[in-house]
């Protein structure tokens, strides 16, 4: 498995439908948590998104993870307790949000890749002005923008009673046959190996699921 599991952890069947997900839900192996987050909702800033696509990252055991080479000031939150947010900046223009999983020190997390806005449509429409509704949260940067998530929320405890960000269990049952898996989007090298790391999970036939794109190989530098 990708990491250690807290013996006191709770699975999705232990959480009533629509109820807030407790820390014990996230304090499990990331490959268990990730697919169970499909159909769950995340709320912040007046908008609620139903998750339709996620990716699992397993810390120092995962060459595709930001935490692969150990803790840094950027990734320190990933080595902390489960249920906290890890929000990072990418390509010099976008924020992407993750929820930390597993036991403290394992540095595993689930990237929130895509979803469907199910509440707060008026707020989402303003944040995503000029973008068709299907694409409001179709991709990790779009999802973060729609929810108003940015770097100021890194380290935020999503399991605290007064947390600004909240995760809730699916309102209805998600059929196991609807959950698909495959390689992660844009992950290069060993972490992008489809056989070793089929760690992207999504719900079939959901228009909000993002398009799969493999990592582009970086051109080699040539000496002059």
The pLDDT > 70 percentage for the chain reads 92
Closest CA to 54 of 185, 187, 170, 192: 185
Q: Residue range 133-140: average pLDDT? A: 96
Sequence-ordered list of residues with C-beta below 8 angstroms from that of 69, at least 6 positions apart, any chain: 60
Does the structure show a pLDDT above 60 at 32?
A: yes
pLDDT score of 11: 84
Structure tokens at 194: 């489809």
Q: Residue range 183-187: average pLDDT? A: 90
The pLDDT > 90 percentage for the chain reads 79
Mean pLDDT of the chain: 91
CA distance linking residue 197 with residue 56, whole number of Å: 9
Q: pTM score, two decimals?
A: 0.90
pLDDT score of 218: 53
Confidence of residue 132 (pLDDT cuts 50, 70, 90): very high
Closest CA to 124 of 141, 145, 140: 145
pLDDT score of 194: 85
Does the structure show a pLDDT above 90 at 196?
A: no
Closest CA to 175 of 38, 20, 5: 38
Q: List, for residues 79-106, the tens digit of each pLDDT value.
A: 999 999 999 998 778 999 999 999 999 9
Specify the residue for token string 């694409």. 135
Contacts 24+ apart (CB under 8 A), 144-148: 144/87, 144/94, 144/95, 144/96, 144/97, 144/112, 145/94, 145/95, 146/47, 146/49, 146/117, 147/42, 147/43, 147/44, 147/45, 147/47, 147/49, 147/97, 148/44, 148/45, 148/46, 148/47
Specify the residue for token string 């997390």. 109
Q: List, for residues 142-162, the tens digit of each pLDDT value.
A: 999 999 999 999 999 999 999
């Amino acid at each position: 498995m990708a990491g250690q599991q807290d013996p006191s952890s709770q699975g999705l069947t232990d959480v009533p439908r629509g109820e807030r997900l407790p820390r014990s839900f996230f304090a499990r192996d990331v490959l268990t948590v990730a697919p169970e987050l499909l159909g769950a909702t995340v709320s912040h800033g007046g908008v609620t998104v139903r998750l339709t696509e996620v990716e699992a990252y397993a810390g120092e055991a995962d060459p595709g993870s930001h935490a692969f080479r150990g803790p840094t000031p950027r990734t320190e939150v990933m080595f902390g307790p489960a249920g906290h947010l890890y929000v990072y900046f990418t390509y010099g223009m976008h924020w992407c949000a993750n929820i930390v999983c597993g036991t403290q020190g394992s540095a595993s997390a689930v990237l929130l890749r895509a979803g469907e806005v199910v509440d707060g449509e008026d707020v989402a429409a303003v944040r995503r002005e000029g973008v068709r509704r299907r694409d409001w949260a179709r991709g990790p940067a779009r999802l973060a923008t729609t929810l108003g998530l940015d770097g100021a929320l890194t380290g935020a405890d999503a399991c605290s009673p007064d947390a600004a960000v909240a995760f809730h269990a699916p309102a209805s049952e998600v059929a196991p046959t609807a959950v698909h898996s495959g390689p992660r989007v844009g992950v290069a090298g060993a972490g992008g190996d489809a056989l070793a790391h089929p760690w992207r999970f999504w719900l079939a036939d959901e228009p909000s699921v993002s398009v799969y794109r493999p990592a582009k190989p970086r051109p080699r530098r040539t000496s002059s």
